[in-house]
């Protein structure tokens, strides 16, 4: 049995990954400062995992959590483009400084595998679609810069120190346990909760911007494949579904799933937002054996179903 550390393990992706690993009989340690992560995300597995409360910005806390760890899944981060524009200093401290702390502690602890949660925002507005890993990076926000810097650090620690790192560039992950309440929440949970409440979802721009929305189970599977990989050390790999949908299409699908007739409201485009995003997942297939098992439509159905069952917890 491997001992696995998930930083940000009380957050959306981290808690889903922790739940899956527990189901596989793996030993799980969660490091989280609960600034955005939630204890209730781990309620059903709390007695089966170890939780270390602390920030990745605190090297001592990271070192405590890293003791005896075989594999690291580094998901702790300030995860919002908009928040990074509002507060680039905190974004830098957590996403860059915290990642460096995790890599340093992992090297010291002789960790076997280190998986870094990277972001498709690194591609920026390069018009070429789909996005391929060898394309020029054109980050548009402090968040994108911070995640791209994390990739560089992960590669350097692989090349110089021999730490086996893999960076997974996520494309708009969505699903159960995603928080709709935050000022900086992702679009799908916000849209779902507003439609269920009979309120108008707000689209920034004309709604024709498109995203490669990727259901959480696909991202979790990519993490499990990455930590088992033998030929992906130091690499950056897209995790997506390989298709894209506009925000207008998204709202239409969610209106059908929620039986809502509420129309969206349009507002000016926000600074730092990418217009179109779609990932080429051929490298993930070759290096990891990754294939998205859950389609966009099936993922939306599952997500709406989860929010319907948990309305008291996901609405104000």
Side-chain-side CA neighbours of residue 220 (13 Å): 22
Boundaries of domain holding 19: 3-174+216-242+277-293
Which of 271, 272, 275, 269 has the alpha carbon at shortest distance from 141?
Answer: 272
Segment 135-178, tens digit of pLDDT: 999 999 999 999 999 999 999 999 999 999 999 999 999 999 99
Q: 165 in a domain, yes or no?
A: yes
Check: CB of residue 11 under 8 Å from CB of residue 32: yes
Q: 32 in a domain, yes or no?
A: yes
At 126 the three-state DSSP class reads: coil
Give the whole-angstrom CA distance, residue 118 versus residue 95: 10
The arithmetic mean of pLDDT across residues 269-294, rounded, is 93
The arithmetic mean of pLDDT across residues 118-143, rounded, is 94
Give the whole-angstrom CA distance, residue 316 versus residue 299: 24
Q: 298 in a domain, yes or no?
A: no
pLDDT score for 164: 98
How many structural domains comprise the chain? 1
Give the whole-angstrom CA distance, residue 8 versus residue 14: 6
In the structure encoding, which two tokens stand for residue 289, read together?
Answer: 């054996």
Please confirm, yes or no, whether 143 is among the known catalytic residues: yes
Q: 299 in a domain, yes or no?
A: no
Q: Among 143, 153, 170, 177, which one carries the catalytic annotation?
A: 143
The arithmetic mean of pLDDT across residues 178-205, rounded, is 90
Q: 12 in a domain, yes or no?
A: yes
Q: 287 in a domain, yes or no?
A: yes
pLDDT band at 182 (very low <50, low <70, confident <90, very high): confident
Alpha-carbon dihedral 233, 37, 185, 235, rounded to 10 degrees = 0
Measured between alpha carbons, how far is residue 54 from residues 9, 37, 64 in Å? Answer: 11, 12, 10
Measured between alpha carbons, how far is residue 207 from residues 11, 18, 245, 247 in Å? Answer: 28, 34, 10, 5
Q: Which CATH number goes with the domain that contains 58? A: 3.40.50.720
User: H-type helices in the chain, by residue range?
Assistant: 12-23, 59-66, 81-86, 88-92, 98-108, 142-161, 187-196, 216-228, 247-258, 282-288, 296-309, 311-314
């Amino acid at each position: 049995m491997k001992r696995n550390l998930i930083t940000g393990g009380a957050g959306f992706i981290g808690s889903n990954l922790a739940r899956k690993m527990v189901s596989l009989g793996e030993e799980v340690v969660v490091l989280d400062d609960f600034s955005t992560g939630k204890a209730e995300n781990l309620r059903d597995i709390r007695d089966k995992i170890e939780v270390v409360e602390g920030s990745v910005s605190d090297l001592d806390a990271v070192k405590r959590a890293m003791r005896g760890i075989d594999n690291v899944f580094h998901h702790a981060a300030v995860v919002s483009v908009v928040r990074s524009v509002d507060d680039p200093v905190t974004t830098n401290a957590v996403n860059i400084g915290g990642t460096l702390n995790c890599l340093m502690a992992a090297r010291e602890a002789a960790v076997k595998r280190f998986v870094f949660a990277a972001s498709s925002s690194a591609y920026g507005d390069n018009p070429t679609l789909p996005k391929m890993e060898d394309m020029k990076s054109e980050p548009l926000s402090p968040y994108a810069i911070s995640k791209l810097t994390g990739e560089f650090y992960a590669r350097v620690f692989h090349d110089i120190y021999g730490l086996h790192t893999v960076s997974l560039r996520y494309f708009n992950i969505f699903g159960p346990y995603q928080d709709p309440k935050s000022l900086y929440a992702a679009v799908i949970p916000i849209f779902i909760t507003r439609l269920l409440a009979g309120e108008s979802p707000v689209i920034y721009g004309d709604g024709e911007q498109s995203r490669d929305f990727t259901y959480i189970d696909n991202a979790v599977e990519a993490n499990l494949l990455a930590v088992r990989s033998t030929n992906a050390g130091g690499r950056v790999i897209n995790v997506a579904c390989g298709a894209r949908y506009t925000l207008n299409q998204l709202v239409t699908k969610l209106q059908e799933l929620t039986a809502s007739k509420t129309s969206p409201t349009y507002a000016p485009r926000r600074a730092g937002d990418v217009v179109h995003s779609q990932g080429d997942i051929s490298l993930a297939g070759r290096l990891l054996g990754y294939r998205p098992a859950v389609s966009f439509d099936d993922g939306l159905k599952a997500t709406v179903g989860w929010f319907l069952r948990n309305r008291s917890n996901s609405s104000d």
